[in-house]
Structure 1
Amino acid sequence: MAIGRRPGAYVCGIDAAMDVIGGKWKVLILWALHEKPCRFGELRRGLPGVTEKVLAAHLRELEADGMVHREEYDETPPRVEYSLTPRGESLNEALAPLGAWGRENLLGGDPVPH
């Protein structure tokens, strides 16, 4: 599955990856879904400060990029859960060293993953 809202416009792999994770909340959404699949409201509560509009838009973009899977259950009331795809899981693994760097160099903590 090819990713990209800007096909042919990427200069390098970092450019392509940043297109997927760009935005304040996308990395935090991916990190939250690393723990377990979540419903929209769970994600909203777990990310204080994100608006419903932005969360919905980011989830749609992450789904379109193949990072997040949206599962609709045929129940009353309707239930939707979001989870990481294998591609989303591999992106989280790639982001783990960046998180360790941030903890060590900016937060002064131990470089312990997740």
Structure 2
Amino acid sequence: MSIETSPASTPVWHHIDDAECRRFQSSVELVGKRWSSGILLAVAQGSSRFSEIVATVTGLSDRLASQRLKELEQAGLVHREVIATTPVQIHYSLTDRGADLMKSLQPLVSWGQRWAR
């Protein structure tokens, strides 16, 4: 999908093929899945331990946090680092792909602050 700006600064949308549409849909479904965006935001804001993430995202259970973190890791958005200490420590961070996604979501967040009720 590409957008050009016309001289009047009105976006001109170009045709989106089926493959682009499927990639867009799967991206929106992943980010829109319950708790995913909250977890990404918590990690982006500095929560790196499992307990910190769960404490930051109100209403998130341990079971769902674990499930969503695995999904986000498989999608390449979150990196899971196991530190061999006693007890074992696990730290989460955004990958470059995850950080890029968070930058991409900022205009949507701004739109929500302006228009969502």
- TM-score for the superposition, normalised by structure 2: 0.78
**Which residue number in structure 2 is paired with residue 96 of structure 1?**
106
Q: May I ask how many residue pairs the two structures share in their alignment? A: 100
Which runs of no fewer than 5 residues in structure 2 stay unpaired? 1-17
Structure possessing the higher radius of gyration over alpha carbons? 2
Shift, 1:34, TM fit: 0.9
Structure 1 Cα separation of the partners of residues 74 and 32 of structure 2: 14
1:85 alignment partner in structure 2: 95
Does structure 2 retain, via aligned residues, the 8 Å contact 1:72–1:79?
A: yes
Quote the Cα distance in structure 1 between the aligned partners of 2:85 and 2:34. 33
Match for residue 15 of structure 1?
25
- Corresponding letter in the other structure for 1:50: L
State the identity %. Answer: 33
Secondary structure at the residue paired with 2:116? helix
Whose relative contact order is higher, 1 or 2, with alpha carbons under 8 Å and at least 6 apart? 1
Show CA shifts across 1:23-50 (max 9, x none): 1210111111112251000001001101
Greater strand share, 1 or 2? 2
Query: SS at the partner of 1:82?
Result: strand
| Matching residue's letter, 2:103 | E
For residue 11 of structure 1, give the secondary structure of its aligned residue in structure 2: helix
Q: Which runs of 5+ in 1 are unaligned?
A: 1-7, 108-114
Paired AA for residue 73 in structure 1: I
2:68 matched to 1:74?
no
Cα offsets for 1:56-106 (capped at 9, x unmatched): 000000000000000000000110000000000000001110000000112
